[in-house]
Chains A and B, each alone.
Chain A
Amino acid sequence: MHDGPHQPWVLGWCGPLRSAPQLRNEKLIIMNSERVLNPTRRRRGRSAAVVGGSLALALVAASCGNGNGNGNGDAEASEGGGTISTYTCEPQNLQPGNNTENCGSRVLQQLFTGLTEVDYETYEAQPAMATDWQTDDQVQWTFELSDEYTFHNGDPVTAQTFVDTWNWVVDPDNAQATANFHDKFLGYEEVVNGEAEEMEGIRAVDDYTLEIELVEPFGQLPIVLTYNGFYPMPEAAFDDMDAFQQAPIGNGRYQMDGEWVHDAEINMDRYEDWPGEDPGTPDRIEWRIYNDIETAYLDVQAGELDILGEVPPSRIGQIEDDFGENYSQNESSRFVYIGLPTYQDDWEDVDLRRALSMAMDREEINEQIFEGAMTPAYGILPPILPMSRNDACEYCEFEPEQAAELYEEAGGPSEFTMYTDIGTGHNEYVEAIANQWMSNLPVDDITFQSLEFAQYLDLHDSREVTGPYRLGWLLAYPSAQYAMEPLYTTGAASNNAEYSSEEFDEAIREANFADAEDADELYQAAEDHLLEDLPVLPLFFQDYFIVHTDRVDNVYSDLSSYVRVEDVTVDED
């Protein structure tokens, strides 16, 4: 999932970093009191207790306030009803296999049901269309499908549907953006190279039994399959994809009401024949498309829009004045880091990278630039994932003197350039880091180069970055594998640091090969290599602020920063 503010709709969700909110009133301090009083909280504790203080609060308050619960396996949830309107940005497209951005995938999540679903409490895969799955070796997988699911046009969804959809998505002629999410399926390479029509590893044994054979063991498969790139598509889609994406026919909790009105709205009604255990709570979801989150914020204030999941940073200081209790702070998996081009001689030395990391005061940046609205990062794995740790990074502690010594010994450059993408307000924190480095390390001068996002990516691809750069990463599915493998394994597509470590590659392989239940420690071991070598310096995990109107409740967002709209309850209609 990209972190790319290259287009306005993407800018919408990357926007929260656009400008640095100033400390404006005392209320904000109260809001963040937990962190102000105990800034190390996030580093010591872990997991459930820590997962977004306010998120937990919001959940508790909501389930106390009315009987609808949060919908996860709660049969009462369907008694909700009502209509909600919620923010999104203009999707690039509404094809499940072609969507890798936020604006569209949160919409698709409501229209489609994959084989598995994310359990938003444990961040594990739970049964959805697949009622059960088995594997002995993490290579051969058998998924038993429910026979009750139908597409919104009445067509049944069978094992063959998945076979056809995935083959279509992988076929290069169809140019689907999520094609390479399927690259562990046996036969993927052959189809991409035009040597085969279909992947031999995907087989429908009968109508409701799907066999998946992989090229190597991969215990994370069930959680990977929650991603929208694996949703099934009906016959109608393959006949006319352009018509299909104007009003996607899915098999999910909600079905389209009318067509997607570009730049304006997407409406959907609850699909009453959806056979899952936890159908959506609202009767109807109206996605309102905004190209500016500031405008959306005003519309929530005016009661024209029920929910905005990405409060602009400039508003965070006044959020309590504007909304009273109708807001929440939610952790996400969005990881913002300072990468180092290890392919340049200057940055090859690991001591240098450690020195830079130890010369960064992450707490200070969070307080001064973001008013405490982020979660300082002391690891690579997002705190929202159960296996993440907050005390694993030895070189993330702020140790300016030690850092200066180390930097001196390693012969670090006294002048260098830092790189950012422009137009998205990353400059504030990048400059703050530069200032910290200049005051804590023997560095005389740091220059900045800001580039348009497309140009920025080009510079990375051509390996012409000469100094520290900022980038981000958002998980497409909640797996430690996705937080590390695409970014740090040798030759990986998004390995902009060109980090290469046999030990790390081996550790990731070992973790991937393992059964999901045994994988946590193995992924931690892989993370340890990264925290030793620091190809990227962890900076922070972004928190998202949600505001909503009085009439809705139980509003929270998941690790991708998506508001779980299917769980929202309506107080009065």
Chain B
Amino acid sequence: MTGYIIRRLLQFVPVLIAATLIVYAMVFLMPGDPIRALSGDRPMSDAVQAQLRDQYNLDDPFLVQYGKYMWGVITQGDFGTTFQGRPVLDIIQQGLPVTLTLAAVAFGFQAIIGAIAGILAAVYKDSFIDRFVQVSLVIAVALPTLAIAFLLQLTFGLNLGWFPIAGIRDGFVSYILPGIVLAAVSTGIVARMLRSELIEALQSDYVRTATAKGMKRSRVVTRHGLRNSLIPVVTFLGADLATMMGGAIVVESVFNMPGLGGQVFRSIQAQENTIVVGIVTLFVLFYVVVNLLVDLLYAALDPRIRYD
């Protein structure tokens, strides 16, 4: 098991290097001159532009630029700065807690609500509850994220006034609406996935045996049915947690949250290479770590799976 984990961790290195290289190249290849765009259609003086290009190595060829960046990262832990001199680490330090809290709230929502809805729908298959769950989940999956966001903002923020419309000034409460929006689609998928898995499991031989032995229905469902239905759901939840960083870009923007998602969006537009690389690499790192954890969870859920 330990050997397996070490091997997986070592695999991170080439993945991260490739990620930085690809992201750096993509931002590099964007058309237009970021320094020229910095001041809009009233250009800064040539001397100032030259100084900035020099400061941010923008006149160097791609590999030299990338090399200088990586050299700084590796030797000095210097992840670069914005064109305004703000360190990338500073940005990450400020934005990461916001994005992580948002992701945690969303993850909790989709795991809990998704699981409850899925189990109820499976256990009371073809009943009103099942139909209700299915219909509401189809709506959640089908509605565009932006529409859900505005709907919740208008209903619970503006009209009812239960939750803040935007910002994070009110602490944890501020994360609830954006968390729900971020989780909406996945909650539907989790519930439907769990429903079909659980229905299948409940029709299997071992469940029938357990029921025949006179076991309580609740115990049959949770211990025998649910445990075996969880593997695909956990896989999905893991992958989804990792991709949540991408969804955060839209949600953070609509709810005006100072997280990393909004930041990376702005930095791409401003072609600020170092920030985009720093944050996207962080997202990639998050993704591979979550994937590793998911793989390890399999072993816990299914005794037949062994890593060595």
Interface on A for B, CB 8 Å cutoff? 1-4, 6-10, 90, 92-93, 98, 100-101, 172-177, 179-180, 183, 192-193, 241-242, 261-265, 288-292, 294-296, 298-299, 301-302, 304, 452-458, 460-461, 471-473, 486, 493-494, 496
With both beta carbons as reference points, the residue of chain B lying nearest to A178 in the complex is identified as B44
Q: Which residues of chain B are within 8 angstroms of A4 by Cβ–Cβ distance?
A: 37, 39-41
Cβ of B55 and Cβ of A175 under 8 Å apart? yes
Do B258 and A177 have beta carbons less than 8 Å apart? no
CB <8 Å contact, B37 and A454: yes
The yes or no answer to B50 lying at the interface (CB within 8 A) is yes
B155 CB, nearest partner CB in chain A, Å? 12
Contact A177 to B166, CB < 8 A, known contacts A241-B85, A454-B34: no
In the complex, what residue of chain A is closest to B81 when comparing beta carbons? A242
Task: Name which of A173, A174, A299, A455 has the most chain B CB atoms within 10 A of its CB.
Answer: A299
Find out whether the CB atom of A264 lies under 8 angstroms from the CB atom of B168.
Answer: yes
Number of interface residues of B (CB under 8 A): 50
> Are B37 and A176 in contact (CB-based, < 8 A)?
no
Cβ–Cβ < 8 Å partners of A174 in chain B: 51
* Complex contact A457–B38 (CB within 8 A): no
Q: Are A298 and B39 in contact (CB under 8 A)?
A: no
- Selected A-B contacts with CB under 8 Å, 30 pairs: A4-B39, A4-B40, A6-B40, A10-B40, A92-B84, A100-B44, A172-B48, A172-B50, A174-B51, A179-B45, A242-B85, A242-B86, A262-B94, A263-B258, A289-B256, A289-B258, A290-B166, A290-B256, A292-B256, A298-B158, A299-B165, A304-B166, A454-B33, A454-B36, A454-B271, A457-B32, A458-B33, A461-B36, A471-B41, A486-B42
Cβ–Cβ contact B44 & A179, under 8 A: yes
B42 touches A263 (CB 8 A): no
Identify the closest chain A residue to B263 (Cβ). A263
Contact for B42 among A93, A100, A262, CB less than 8 A: A100
Among A241, A294, A454, find the residue whose CB has the most chain B CB atoms closer than 10 A: A454
On chain A, the residues within 8 Å of B273 by CB distance are none
Please give me the 4 A-B residue pairs with the lowest Cβ-Cβ distance, nearest first: A2-B40, A454-B32, A4-B40, A263-B258
Q: Which residues of B contact A176 (CB under 8 A)?
A: 48
Q: Do A458 and B270 have beta carbons less than 8 Å apart?
A: no
Bound-state Cα–Cα, A183 to B262, Å = 37
A237 to B31, CA, bound (A): 35
The residues of B that contact A453 with a CB separation of less than 8 Å are 32, 37, 40
A218 to B46, CA, bound (A): 23
Pick the residue among B42, B44, B45 that contacts A1 (CB under 8 A): B42
Is residue B52 within 8 Å, beta carbon to beta carbon, of the partner chain? yes
Q: A264-B168, A290-B166, A292-B253 given as contacts; is B269 within 8 A of A8 (CB)? A: yes
- In the complex, chain A residues whose CB is within 8 Å of the CB of B32: 452-458
| Docked-complex contact A8 and B166, CB < 8 angstroms | no
Known: A262-B94, A298-B166. Is A177-B44 also a contact (CB below 8 A)?
yes
C-alpha gap A294/B167 in the complex (Å): 13
- Known interface pairs A2-B39, A295-B166; 13 further A-B residue pairs with C-beta atoms within 8 A, sorted by A's residue number: A2-B42, A7-B266, A7-B270, A10-B40, A289-B256, A295-B153, A302-B165, A454-B30, A454-B32, A457-B32, A461-B36, A486-B42, A496-B41
Chain B residues in 8 Å Cβ range of A294: 254
Q: In the complex, which residues of chain A have a beta carbon less than 8 angstroms from the beta carbon of B34? A: 454
B161 to chain A, nearest CB (A): 7
Quick one: given A6-B270, A454-B33, are A302 and B157 in contact (CB under 8 Å)? yes
Contact among B37, B50, B94 with A6 in the assembled complex (CB-CB below 8 Å): B37
A452 partner residues in chain B, CB cutoff 8 A: 30-32
- Decide yes or no whether B47 CB sits under 8 A from chain A: yes
Task: Looking at the assembled complex, report how far the CB atom of B295 sits from the nearest CB atom of chain A, in whole angstroms.
Answer: 35
Residue of B nearest to A452 (CB): B32
Q: How far is the CA of A453 from the CA of B33 in the complex (A)?
A: 10
Cα-based distance from A101 to B262 in the complex (angstroms): 19
A530 to B45 CA separation, bound complex (whole angstroms): 25
B217 to chain A, nearest CB (A): 47
Q: Tell me the complex Cα distance, A261–B257, Å.
A: 12
Task: Name, among B45, B52, B85, B254, the residue most crowded by chain A CB atoms within 10 Å (CB to CB).
Answer: B45
- Report how far A9 CA is from B267 CA in the complex, Å: 11
